[in-house]
Chain A
């Protein structure tokens, strides 16, 4: 316990906590996407509803849900503390500061991109988590809820934008986590870059494809769904 506290109170320890929780959230993204891909099954939502039911009732998943919430809170709490500490480390700003000459934009706006992801999460949970458990008097299945939500082009645009921003968060974040863990040398750089591209490019594209898929369905069926 003493070691853990000493660890967390140091700046490098905090940064490691951000990296660890960040990668944990990445693993959650993969699981979430895996289930979401059943939306494309073309079976009217049968398989998707089955998995959704499993996720909502399985006790092990329920426990993991708590871990996930803690992971999110720890990630956000720690990164925000670090941000304030980092800002206070330069009380007087430069009159001229050319950050673009030495660093990538994605590495300098992680708090902003992260905050957008957070706002998205609130809306997302309101629609699907809250929407499926409470206020679902009509008794829609999970698939029907998804279909109804994504029939709205404004909502779809919000989704797609959020995933572009998440991709940008991970453009920096994924490889950054490995630097934080000390796994950055020429031997692994290429491999990490490759896996990183899955996270900042492929995963967000697949997530963003879901609203587009349902929007197309919405118009193909003349807006019935």
Chain B
């Protein structure tokens, strides 16, 4: 397969970037999107050009570092997968593919497709944790949790913090990310102690980082590689209301 790639090139956070066109050939349909970028980078290095910078680590959809905006969508045209899980069979031979970084005020661009997502870390530091006494590893199943609740909490806990929700949202809202974290801990017994402070502190940090607010377009759920449900946002709104009113 052959593709025309239009890739966002930007030297550093201070420079202005632009889309640059590259041509790739000899691509097979079972190659992943990141492998196509690897191949392109090999060619760029051979030519003495600067390779395209992009984040990646696990390449199996669990680390959340490979976020990029492909043909106008977070992680490209597929549903329920990260950019590293995107195969070239999702595209038509000869297609032009536009690749941009995740764009949001809260995600400043570092270089090319790499953005600084430490805003998410600061939101987590504001309250996305439980305080427990250290000691021996507790027994599994020492605290029974109903299956129904465990399933919902697991859906929230599957968030890999990639930022696809922010990137896809027309408001650059981080609500699905924050809601997944708040929801997961609000559902489980371990999260009860800091329940109220958590939701207030995490939302305050979210606002401080410059993310937009939610208008319930539900783009986030549609583009989330882990298909995390917007009902977690409803739960977080409820948590917030309860925390402020009591």
Chain A positions near chain B (C-beta within 8 angstroms): 3, 6-7, 10-16, 82, 85-99, 101-104, 107-108, 110, 172, 175-176, 178-186
**Is the beta-carbon distance between B214 and A15 smaller than 8 angstroms?**
yes
B225 within 8 A of A: no
Cβ distance A143 to chain B, nearest Cβ, rounded Å: 40
- Known A14-B213, A86-B212, A90-B172: A184·B234 in contact at CB below 8 Å: yes
B interface SS class: mixed
A97 to B169, CA, bound (A): 10
A177 to B230, CA, bound (A): 14
- Among A14, A99, A103, A110, which residue has the most Cβ atoms of chain B within 10 A? A103
A90 to B95, CA, bound (A): 28
A–B complex contacts, Cβ < 8 Å, 15 sampled: A3-B245, A10-B204, A11-B214, A13-B244, A15-B215, A89-B173, A94-B69, A94-B72, A97-B72, A99-B72, A102-B219, A102-B222, A178-B234, A180-B216, A185-B234
Chain B positions near chain A (C-beta within 8 angstroms): 6, 8, 19, 69, 71-73, 77, 98, 100, 103-106, 168, 170-173, 203-204, 206-207, 210-219, 222-223, 230-231, 233-241, 244-245
Cβ distance A78 to chain B, nearest Cβ, rounded Å: 10
Partner of A176 from the list B72, B98, B216 (CB cut-off 8 Å) is B216
**Is the beta-carbon distance between B172 and A96 smaller than 8 angstroms?**
no
- Among B69, B204, B234, B245, which residue has the most Cβ atoms of chain A within 10 A? B234
* Known contacts A3-B245, A12-B214, A186-B231; 14 further A-B pairs (Cβ under 8 A): A10-B207, A13-B244, A82-B215, A85-B212, A86-B173, A86-B213, A89-B210, A90-B103, A93-B103, A94-B72, A95-B98, A98-B73, A182-B237, A185-B234
**Is the beta-carbon distance between B73 and A102 smaller than 8 angstroms?**
yes
Partner of B219 from the list A7, A16, A103, A185 (CB cut-off 8 Å) is A103
**Is the beta-carbon distance between A101 and B73 smaller than 8 angstroms?**
yes
- In the bound complex, residues from chain B placing their C-beta under 8 Å from that of A85 are 212-213
